[in-house]
Structure 1
Amino acid sequence: MAEIDDPDADLLARLARGEPQAARELVERKLPRMLGLAQRLLGNRAEAEEVAQEGLVRAWQQVGHWRPGQARFDTWLHEVVLNLCRDRLRRRAVRREEALDEHAEAAAFADPGPTPEQQLDHAQHSARIAAALDALPPRQREALVLHYYQALPQAEAAALMGVSVDALESLLARARRSLRARLQDASTSAIAAPADPGGSPP
């Protein structure tokens, strides 16, 4: 089996030798991508920061056992953070089932209300995309985030999810359709919203 070319190989070797600068480079190189992955899957900045940092700590702890040429470090790190996110989502679901009554659950999922009139259009659009992404089934959301947001090749994204490339393509197709439909519904709702009754008559 041919060895896999890993752009992080030199950094990992320096980490294994205990170079302080290498640890800083690991954080600078990987933390933003891992934070983006976690935030899109969890929808919570604080939790995403915890997960991304935990993933990097695990990477640092395992660097002495890393076997270069067998797998890309970036792919392995994605898998670690992805599994940490799945654990958080499972625990979150259990807590909702066990602890939230109907009123609390309704409050947790309540519409946060319209954005301020002065908010920039691109910020409003980003909020609609985030809400639509969060509403997707977990597997579809994972597929979209890994392939489009994290820019992983389909083969790597499929391997991380434990599915074939064909199955990943099917997930992506369904996710794109659902996302388009949700964004269209959001746009239609915004256009159809009633005018302010306090305004001046025509």
Structure 2
Amino acid sequence: MAASSVGVLPSMSARHEPGAAPAGEGRSKAAKARAYTLLSDEDLLSMIGADDAEAFQALVERHADRAYAIAFRFLRNATDAEDVVQDALLKVWTSGCKWESGRARFSTWLYRVITNRCIDLKRRPTSEAIDVVPEVASEAPSQVNEILRMEASSRLERAIAELPEQQKTALLFSYYENLSNAEIAEIMETTVSAVESLLKRGRQHLRAVLQREGADMLNSLKND
């Protein structure tokens, strides 16, 4: 998902009168935009505190895709995931975030906000997400293998969705985001040993869910 699709960037567009900018001005803006990409999150946040819209845009472009991926894996709903990310990022612009320099990375704060918001949304009744099945023009081996791979991935995600919330959170950050146990503990505001326990119990639970689903599929085939 492109960062702009989150819906944050359009509202932060440049505040200039319409009309083509001179070539020199365009090059200057491009150079300035590149310079922003070299700044740390901490530097960008300081500039955002001074109402620097371009610093905000740079921060959004840096974090929006990964933030959306996390939200979508929790919610399995594109619209809800976009709303969660937009709300979290707009909070940075409109009221300043509660992230404190020296205590945690900005990404840790952002993932914590998104995780908590997703958990809140999951507690509300929602419409069931619909899996999109790709159309296949032929049964070429490469296409069949891709469908099998997608089905295996879909089964895994459905199984993870059945886990208790804390186990699911730890597994999502470990499996999909490749975060260390220490990073996961910081996001979840718990200890490393607690994360290790959640991952162990989560894997055991996940294995049982997948084995049960496999047995159900076999029984269904036998009854056909």
* TM-score strictly above 0.5: yes
Look up the equivalent residue of 1:190 and give its one-letter code: M
Look up the equivalent residue of 1:182 and give its one-letter code: V
Q: For residues 98 and 198 of structure 2, what CA distance do their matches in structure 1 show?
A: 34
- Relative CO higher for 1 or 2, CA cutoff 8 Å, sep ≥ 6? 1
1:23-72: CA deviations, max 9, x gaps?
A: 22222111111111111122222111111111111122344875422321
Q: How does 1:49-198 map to 2 (within 5 A)?
A: 49-63=82-96, 67-92=100-125, 118=136, 120-194=147-221
RMSD: 3.1
Q: For residues 148 and 16 of structure 1, what CA distance do their matches in structure 2 show?
A: 34
Which moves more between the two structures, 135-144 or 180-189?
180-189
Counterpart among 78, 84, 95 of residue 45 in structure 1 = 78
The 1:77–1:64 alpha-carbon spacing in structure 2 relative to 1, beyond 3 Å, is closer
The 1:14–1:151 alpha-carbon spacing in structure 2 relative to 1, beyond 3 Å, is farther
Look up the equivalent residue of 1:149 and give its one-letter code: Y
Which moves more between the two structures, 41-50 or 57-66?
57-66
The 1:90–1:196 alpha-carbon spacing in structure 2 relative to 1, beyond 3 Å, is closer
Moved over 6 A (4+): none
1:146-172: CA deviations, max 9, x gaps?
A: 233233321232233232211111110
Residue 127 of structure 1 deviates from its aligned partner by: 1.2
TM score, norm. by length of structure 2: 0.66
The 1:117–1:36 alpha-carbon spacing in structure 2 relative to 1, beyond 3 Å, is closer
The 1:191–1:50 alpha-carbon spacing in structure 2 relative to 1, beyond 3 Å, is same
Look up the equivalent residue of 1:151 and give its one-letter code: N
Gaps of 5+ in 2: 1-38, 137-143
TM score, norm. by length of structure 1: 0.72
Alignment length, in residue pairs?
Answer: 176
Residue identity over aligned pairs, in percent, reads 37
Q: For residues 177 and 40 of structure 2, what CA distance do their matches in structure 1 show?
A: 16
Q: Is the 8 A contact 1:16 1:63 kept in 2?
A: yes
> What SS does structure 2 have at the residue aligned with 1:35?
helix
Q: Is the 8 A contact 1:43 1:134 kept in 2?
A: no
Q: For residues 152 and 61 of structure 1, what CA distance do their matches in structure 2 show?
A: 29
